Chain A
């Protein structure tokens, strides 16, 4: 009991100790430290946020793509307002006096003592005029900001845009406050953390006449803003611009990747829009207009549109067939203007028959692939159709289909590769077989592939069996290397040896003789390998598709082009792809191909439809 009794002393000592600590700290804070002293005139503090310049974005060659311009917000501190000439101020700001009065009422009701924004994003010119006269309006001051500016009108989908934070963003991250900006889509959003830098603050002493008397506490509480980090994008801006020009007046998408690194050279969605439309004060009105446009310019087709791949998918089926050992270089299948089986007829265009595997690609024979596909699914080593299908599916998704590729842009669609459960639900368990779903052989049916996935698949073929996660930023300032997930190699389930015959077929498609579907894509001095596709469209004209990579050995570019409602793959997609390749590898279009360039630039597939 004695010991317990003694404890009361310990508790008492604890109380006294804490009190002494408090008194000492208070003494230090109030008497010793003089940085809190205010002068006799009852100065008050003004917090001026230092907004850092947002990081710049460059293209892969170092060209500046996105930068900042100065803008100014007009702020008011209601407690410091004196009577002033509302007419004069409102005319200086070019707004109605009524609007000015309303803003003041709103500011006062928000807080009598904390500043509110009266007018956002004044231009530097306006600011210069206003600044001279600001002394006439005590209580008003100017807060500098920056606005995003684009050196060119291209790649709107890629960059995205910047806007004001909403309540949800503030709740999720207390770094943001009302009036801050953040990236809302595209690179601006995906790399927001790096681009935004860190806000700083300068605290000034102001007297009752709105005069700044100096830094509060000699700047002890000021923090310097930290600039946003600059980004180097993988995009080749000249190629991007060229592609957008080629796609003018058309709908669809182009995606070009560098196969050896996964770097995205171009990402185009047509129709596109001028990124400057969504900057600054005009943004809300323009956004509404763009959102209501029936052609959906804001929809990023490259990442989100799910298309059937059409005949380009035959290359995949060829590779799977060879891997499974059901077809080889010399396998031939008869084609009589199509494929006939069990009452089903899949049509095919007229061509020499029978063809071996490489020729089946260059001639794009439908019957050949109906055979190949069924042989894969019906292979006797699989006990059931389900097993055969799952095996086929595993090969397919190893190319990056059916799921997001997890690139560094957000808003990516997963695409769709059906599972056995899908067909079980539609047809019934055990009530479907290879013939029922044979349209998958030629890339029709229930396949949904995004242009990004198609380009990625092309890169995998170009690499003869692997790909890297496509990405849009190759370098972040001050970081020694990019996210290691972009250097991770993804292997397809197909052995390297099988790519030879498939690529030979793609080479012949472009460079071969009669029957080759893509001769328009042939370049004089570079071997281009490609595959056409024509996707059936129940609502209108077929979609024109083309995948390609070049040069055949040590490829530098893999590209997928998808043009909606444009007919055969060779009519629009192939020429556009070949122009892009030529532009990228040689920097200019050869004389003999200029007519192709002219035709593509002039082609208008949108407005004729409207008529």
Chain B
């Protein structure tokens, strides 16, 4: 039984307003970013700004269509959307045109489409549908596994294109999972993994081992609620290490480097503790040891992956972000130019169409991934802060909308939208100011591009539609 509701009055116009503001600002900044004095009309179709206008008009039409379709349609067809998305991703691997070394575009006639943008939408719908199915609980391992498969299948297909940026977006769905019941411990483990990843790149092995061990000691003491036990473990370890160090002093032929000493001491103390765990029944030892061992193994695999599996330009980008390399002419060029462009804006910017950095082509990809630079250069801090606040407001509004949903499906889907938009927001702007390695993904609603604009528009407006019909459901 559903109530009849007036559609027009239940649409969240605040969200729609934010959307229009962003799209308009994006359009204006694209005009400035790729301004060509030979074609100075903002409506000129041969230039990107003219084209963006067409995409915008089409997007608005799409939005209206999305709103007019019954909200139950989205829930019913969730899996079909997902299936279509996977199909398109497979097709693009086979038939896609290769641009800049990756097959991300499908050409249909004179029309070009980027399936990876739409796949995010399909995944959000599918996850929403699955997680609200009967009896599905994220605390149960098989259900968690299926959720991960839903998330990672498109990610893997996109990775084959290859398009690392779009692949990483799928990690954002962890936010959705978190809200929908991902066990805390798993969430913290995921975060710990990310932190450990960066630590491995920054510190050398010895330091890492010590950090991991100290952390393990702390966790041990925490679980056992006993500082004494932690200290005992630490003393045991130091004792063995000291003994070994003395041995090397008297028998230098053994060639025990400090690293090996610590490694062996750890191994020895672990063995002793396992024995203790059996005799004195300290259960948490296993947990802590497993954590320790997997952390150490993880650092080795990160090392391996970083040096052997990542391409050299990806390594360089990470190194540049961590500050180990500068490379102002090569990889670091994008970042440098971006920061210079933004930095040169000062408080209020140089003014519309006056950005020298972006005007003189110093910032690469300035109408797409680096569109934020134009905002920074021409509108200054006031402009950039405004855009940041605009996004934050949108995201918070979406949380508000999500929580007032009566249908679980709508709520979960809402968090999907929030996760995706938040990820793009963080990575794109973070990249332009140097807080995040250069990963090429667009800024939603701002960046030039039909596929991304439409995908984001549909993504958002499905939510607007679902929200508008929330009062149809009887409590």
Contact = CB atoms under 8 A, between A and B. Distances in A.
The answer on A and B forming one complex is yes
Interface of A: 4, 7-8, 10-12, 15-16, 18-19, 21-23, 25-27, 29-31, 33, 35-38, 42-45, 47, 49, 79, 111-114, 173-175, 177, 199, 201, 203, 217, 221, 223
B342 A30 contact: yes
Interface string B338-354: 01101111110000001
Contacts of A33: 343
Contacts of B361: 111-114
* Chain B interface, DSSP helix/strand/loop, else mixed: helix
B191 to A, nearest CB: 11
Interface in B69-116: none
Contacts of B342: 26, 29-30
Given A11-B418, A19-B389, A113-B362, A223 B328 contact: yes
Contacts of A114: 361
Given A8-B403, A27-B381, 12 more contacts: A10-B178, A15-B392, A15-B396, A27-B385, A29-B342, A30-B345, A30-B346, A31-B346, A47-B329, A113-B360, A174-B316, A175-B330
B389 A221 contact: no
A113 B385 CA distance: 30
Nearest to B326: A223
B376 A30 contact: yes
Given A11-B399, A15-B396, A173-B312, A26 B360 contact: no
Contact of A221 (B336, B346, B403): B336
Contacts of B415: 11
Given A19-B388, A23-B388, A8 B179 contact: yes
A25 B418 contact: no
A74 B269 CA distance: 68
28 contacts: A11-B175, A16-B396, A18-B422, A18-B425, A18-B426, A19-B391, A22-B430, A22-B435, A23-B385, A25-B433, A25-B435, A26-B381, A29-B343, A30-B346, A30-B347, A30-B381, A30-B384, A31-B346, A31-B347, A33-B343, A36-B339, A36-B343, A45-B340, A79-B360, A173-B312, A174-B312, A175-B330, A177-B329
A173 B311 CA distance: 11
Contacts of B395: 15
B356 interface: yes
Contacts of B360: 44, 79, 113
Given A8-B402, A36-B340, A38-B356, A15 B385 contact: no
A201 B330 CA distance: 11
B281 interface: no
A42 B391 contact: no
B160 interface: no
Interface in B376-399: 376, 380-381, 384-385, 388-389, 391-392, 395-396, 399
Given A29-B433, A30-B376, A30-B381, A37 B346 contact: yes
Nearest to A4: B181
A113 B363 CA distance: 11
B467 to A, nearest CB: 16
A299 to B, nearest CB: 33
- From B312, B381, B389, residue with most partner A Cβ within 10 Å: B381
Contact of A21 (B340, B376, B435): B435
- From A8, A10, A35, residue with most partner B Cβ within 10 Å: A8
A50 to B, nearest CB: 10
Contact of B356 (A18, A27, A42, A217): A42
Contacts of A27: 381, 385
Contacts of A35: 343
- From B376, B395, B418, residue with most partner A Cβ within 10 Å: B395
A241 to B, nearest CB: 41
A15 B390 CA distance: 12
A45 B388 CA distance: 29
Contacts of A36: 339-340, 343-344, 346
Contacts of A26: 342, 376, 381, 384-385, 388, 433
Contacts of A79: 360
Interface in B312-328: 312-313, 316, 326, 328
A22 B433 contact: yes
B429 interface: yes
B328 A30 contact: no
Contacts of B336: 221
Contacts of A223: 326, 328
Interface in B288-327: 312-313, 316, 326
B180 interface: yes
Contacts, number: 114
Interface string B140-182: 0000000000000000000000000000000000010011110
A8 B399 contact: yes
A19 B343 contact: no
Contacts of A8: 179, 399, 402-403
Interface in B430-444: 430, 433, 435
A203 to B, nearest CB: 8
Nearest to B345: A30
B471 interface: no
Nearest to B180: A4
B376 A174 contact: no
Contacts of B430: 22
B21 interface: no
Contacts of A175: 330
A11 B328 contact: no
Contacts of B343: 29-30, 33, 35-36
Given A26-B388, A44-B356, A49 B329 contact: yes
Contacts of B329: 47, 49, 177, 199, 201
B331 interface: yes
Contacts of B392: 15-16, 19
A38 B396 contact: no
A17 to B, nearest CB: 10
Contacts of A44: 356, 360
Contacts of B175: 11
A580 B381 CA distance: 76
Given A8-B403, A19-B388, A174-B312, A37 B344 contact: yes
Nearest to A10: B178
Contacts of A47: 329
Given A22-B388, A31-B347, A44-B356, A174 B330 contact: yes
- From B326, B347, B389, B426, residue with most partner A Cβ within 10 Å: B426
A49 B430 CA distance: 28
A159 to B, nearest CB: 28
A312 to B, nearest CB: 45
Contacts of A21: 435
B340 A4 contact: no
Contacts of A201: 328-329
Contacts of B179: 4, 7-8, 11
A15 B393 CA distance: 9
A22 B336 CA distance: 17
Contacts of B435: 21-22, 25
Contacts of B312: 173-174
A22 B429 contact: yes
Interface string B51-85: 00000000000000000000000000000000000
A283 B190 CA distance: 58
B17 to A, nearest CB: 19
B426 to A, nearest CB: 6
A27 to B, nearest CB: 6
Given A30-B342, A112-B361, A174 B399 contact: no
B345 A174 contact: no
Nearest to B433: A25
Contacts of B380: 30
Nearest to B176: A11
A12 to B, nearest CB: 5
Nearest to B403: A8
A209 to B, nearest CB: 16
B36 to A, nearest CB: 10
